[in-house]
Amino acid sequence: MKHLIYSMAIVGLLSGCDLKSNRIENTKELNREIKASQIKRVTNTQLIYSADEWGKKISQIAEKSLKAELEKNAEAGTALCGDLSKIPVIAALEKEYGVKVQLLGSADLKSKELAPKEREVLDAYLYSARAKAAAGDNLQQLNDTLLVYNAPVSPESIVCKKCMTGQDTSFGVWRLLFSKKEIIRKLDAKQLKN
């Protein structure tokens, strides 16, 4: 009798469990979202290091893709200089890293869209370009939520020659605007422990 009751209970439990339908499938998107929503302790040093590494990588890829577009079709490529998100590679980078990619020139020195600190940095890059001095990459914290990464474009580059026409000095700077929130979401918790 006990065996019959146990058997009935097991059959009842198994019939109540629908093992095949309504199953959550683990997709790449779900895994990415789970990793992004994990609680992480990120120090300011880790945050700045990540933004610096990503900035180097993104600015190099953005420059390569814009060069390729300019070499393929100079007229259409020049139109892309103002709106880089129309280049598929750059649009994918913006989506993947949660970053805004722009190419700035001397005309942007008076832009109200830029923070005063950014205009000062841009002015310093212009001064270096006029003096034909080498300038390096720069990472600035704009406020509590934003970081900006700047990387100068070589004056001999096709990017400067085609996108920055009408300037007295061949000058261009990549501007990558990072949100701290997006950086933290994209960081892998396992990598942070190291």
pLDDT for 187 beyond 70: yes
What's the pLDDT at 178? Answer: 92
Higher pLDDT residue, 12 or 56? 56
d(CA 42, CA 47): 7
Q: Give pTM, 2 decimals.
A: 0.75
Confidence of residue 18 (pLDDT cuts 50, 70, 90): low
Q: Which of 26-30, 73-77, 152-156 is predicted with the least confidence, judged by mean pLDDT? A: 26-30
pLDDT for 26 beyond 70: no
Computed over every residue of the chain, the mean pLDDT equals 81
Stretch 123-135: mean pLDDT: 87
- DSSP 8-state code for residue 25: P
Confidence of residue 22 (pLDDT cuts 50, 70, 90): very low
In degrees rounded to 5, what are phi and psi of residue 133?
Answer: -100, 150
